[in-house]
Amino acid sequence: MEQLFADYGLGRSLRSGGDVEFGPWSPRVDILERDGNLLVRADLPGMKQDDIRVEVLDDLLILEGERSFEQEEEQGDIWRMERGFGSFLRTLPLPEGIDADTVQARFENGVLEVSMKLPQIRAQGRRIEVKGSSRGTPKKPIH
Protein backbone atom coordinates (compact mmCIF):
# COMPACT_ATOMS: atom_id res chain seq x y z
CA MET A 1 0.00 0.00 0.00
CA GLU A 2 2.87 2.39 0.76
CA GLN A 3 4.08 1.91 -2.82
CA LEU A 4 0.63 2.84 -4.12
CA PHE A 5 0.77 6.16 -2.26
CA ALA A 6 4.39 6.72 -3.32
CA ASP A 7 3.36 6.22 -6.96
CA TYR A 8 0.94 9.12 -6.63
CA GLY A 9 3.54 11.40 -5.03
CA LEU A 10 1.99 11.37 -1.58
CA GLY A 11 4.43 11.68 1.29
CA ARG A 12 4.18 9.69 4.49
CA SER A 13 4.63 10.75 8.07
CA LEU A 14 3.95 8.99 11.35
CA ARG A 15 1.86 10.45 14.14
CA SER A 16 2.02 9.58 17.80
CA GLY A 17 0.49 6.17 18.32
CA GLY A 18 1.73 4.86 14.98
CA ASP A 19 -1.13 6.20 12.83
CA VAL A 20 -0.01 6.94 9.30
CA GLU A 21 -0.83 10.33 7.82
CA PHE A 22 -0.49 10.80 4.06
CA GLY A 23 0.22 13.94 2.05
CA PRO A 24 -0.92 17.47 2.74
CA TRP A 25 -3.59 17.93 5.36
CA SER A 26 -6.51 20.28 5.61
CA PRO A 27 -7.48 21.70 9.00
CA ARG A 28 -11.10 21.82 10.11
CA VAL A 29 -12.62 25.26 9.65
CA ASP A 30 -15.80 26.72 11.15
CA ILE A 31 -17.33 29.90 9.68
CA LEU A 32 -19.96 31.82 11.62
CA GLU A 33 -21.48 35.26 12.03
CA ARG A 34 -21.57 36.95 15.42
CA ASP A 35 -22.48 40.55 16.29
CA GLY A 36 -21.92 41.86 12.76
CA ASN A 37 -18.58 40.07 12.42
CA LEU A 38 -17.55 37.10 10.31
CA LEU A 39 -15.55 34.59 12.39
CA VAL A 40 -13.37 31.87 10.92
CA ARG A 41 -11.95 29.28 13.31
CA ALA A 42 -9.37 26.71 12.24
CA ASP A 43 -8.15 23.80 14.38
CA LEU A 44 -4.36 23.69 14.13
CA PRO A 45 -3.19 21.30 16.85
CA GLY A 46 0.53 21.08 17.46
CA MET A 47 1.31 24.22 15.46
CA LYS A 48 3.11 27.34 16.61
CA GLN A 49 2.03 30.89 15.88
CA ASP A 50 5.14 31.48 13.74
CA ASP A 51 4.16 28.59 11.43
CA ILE A 52 0.84 30.19 10.39
CA ARG A 53 0.18 32.82 7.70
CA VAL A 54 -3.12 34.67 7.20
CA GLU A 55 -3.80 36.86 4.17
CA VAL A 56 -6.79 38.61 2.61
CA LEU A 57 -6.56 38.84 -1.15
CA ASP A 58 -9.48 40.49 -2.96
CA ASP A 59 -12.46 38.36 -1.92
CA LEU A 60 -10.49 35.44 -0.43
CA LEU A 61 -9.20 34.59 3.02
CA ILE A 62 -6.01 32.55 2.72
CA LEU A 63 -4.87 30.36 5.60
CA GLU A 64 -1.50 28.70 5.16
CA GLY A 65 0.95 26.91 7.38
CA GLU A 66 3.40 24.14 7.97
CA ARG A 67 3.73 21.85 10.94
CA SER A 68 6.43 19.48 12.00
CA PHE A 69 6.99 17.29 15.02
CA GLU A 70 9.59 15.03 16.49
CA GLN A 71 8.85 12.52 19.22
CA GLU A 72 11.30 10.29 21.04
CA GLU A 73 10.32 7.41 23.25
CA GLU A 74 12.57 5.09 25.22
CA GLN A 75 11.30 1.93 26.90
CA GLY A 76 14.06 -0.20 28.35
CA ASP A 77 16.39 -1.23 25.52
CA ILE A 78 14.06 0.09 22.80
CA TRP A 79 14.42 3.62 21.49
CA ARG A 80 11.86 4.94 19.04
CA MET A 81 11.87 8.27 17.22
CA GLU A 82 9.13 9.61 14.95
CA ARG A 83 9.29 12.70 12.78
CA GLY A 84 6.62 14.16 10.62
CA PHE A 85 5.60 17.24 8.73
CA GLY A 86 2.76 18.58 6.68
CA SER A 87 1.60 21.80 5.11
CA PHE A 88 -1.82 23.18 4.35
CA LEU A 89 -3.38 25.91 2.23
CA ARG A 90 -7.04 26.83 2.63
CA THR A 91 -8.72 29.55 0.59
CA LEU A 92 -12.14 30.66 1.73
CA PRO A 93 -14.40 33.00 -0.24
CA LEU A 94 -15.40 36.19 1.56
CA PRO A 95 -18.57 38.23 1.14
CA GLU A 96 -18.27 41.15 -1.25
CA GLY A 97 -17.25 44.40 0.42
CA ILE A 98 -15.09 43.05 3.28
CA ASP A 99 -12.72 45.76 4.51
CA ALA A 100 -9.26 44.16 4.86
CA ASP A 101 -8.35 46.79 7.49
CA THR A 102 -10.84 45.22 9.94
CA VAL A 103 -9.33 41.71 9.77
CA GLN A 104 -7.75 40.45 12.98
CA ALA A 105 -6.15 37.07 13.66
CA ARG A 106 -5.51 35.41 17.00
CA PHE A 107 -3.91 32.03 17.75
CA GLU A 108 -4.42 30.37 21.12
CA ASN A 109 -4.35 26.75 22.34
CA GLY A 110 -4.14 25.31 18.81
CA VAL A 111 -7.07 27.33 17.44
CA LEU A 112 -6.69 30.14 14.92
CA GLU A 113 -9.53 32.68 15.00
CA VAL A 114 -9.82 35.28 12.25
CA SER A 115 -12.49 37.97 12.59
CA MET A 116 -13.62 40.81 10.35
CA LYS A 117 -16.52 43.22 10.15
CA LEU A 118 -19.24 42.21 7.74
CA PRO A 119 -20.23 44.87 5.22
CA GLN A 120 -23.54 46.60 5.79
CA ILE A 121 -26.13 45.19 3.43
CA ARG A 122 -28.17 47.83 1.68
CA ALA A 123 -31.39 47.15 -0.14
CA GLN A 124 -30.72 46.94 -3.87
CA GLY A 125 -34.17 47.94 -4.99
CA ARG A 126 -37.17 49.91 -3.86
CA ARG A 127 -40.83 49.19 -3.52
CA ILE A 128 -43.11 50.77 -6.13
CA GLU A 129 -46.59 51.85 -5.14
CA VAL A 130 -49.29 50.47 -7.40
CA LYS A 131 -51.96 53.06 -8.07
CA GLY A 132 -55.48 52.52 -9.32
CA SER A 133 -57.40 54.34 -12.05
CA SER A 134 -58.24 57.93 -11.20
CA ARG A 135 -61.46 57.83 -13.25
CA GLY A 136 -63.46 56.03 -10.61
CA THR A 137 -65.23 52.70 -11.02
CA PRO A 138 -65.04 51.14 -14.45
CA LYS A 139 -68.34 50.97 -16.36
CA LYS A 140 -69.87 47.73 -17.55
CA PRO A 141 -69.22 46.99 -21.21
CA ILE A 142 -72.18 47.51 -23.59
CA HIS A 143 -73.39 44.44 -25.52
Query: What is the per-residue DSSP string for 57-72?
Result: ETTEEEEEEEEEEEEE
Is a pLDDT exceeding 90 seen at residue 127?
no
Is a pLDDT exceeding 60 seen at residue 16?
no
Name the pTM for this structure: 0.61
What pLDDT, in 10s, does the model give residues 73-115? Answer: 888 888 888 777 788 999 999 988 888 899 999 999 999 999 9
**In degrees to the nearest 10, what's the CA dihedral of 45, 46, 51, 52?**
10
Is a pLDDT exceeding 60 seen at residue 19?
no
Determine the pLDDT at residue 142: 66
Is a pLDDT exceeding 90 seen at residue 43?
yes
Q: Using DSSP, how many helices (H) and how many strands (E) does the chain show?
A: 1, 9
Cα distance between residue 119 and residue 96, in whole Å:
8
Quickly list H helices, the chain. Answer: 2-7
Q: Which CATH class is domain 2-117?
A: mainly beta
**Order of all β-strands in the sheet with 60-75:** 52-57, 60-75, 78-93
3-state secondary structure of 26: coil
Q: How many residues does the chain have?
A: 143
User: Do the beta carbons of residue 72 and residue 79 sit within 8 Å?
Assistant: yes
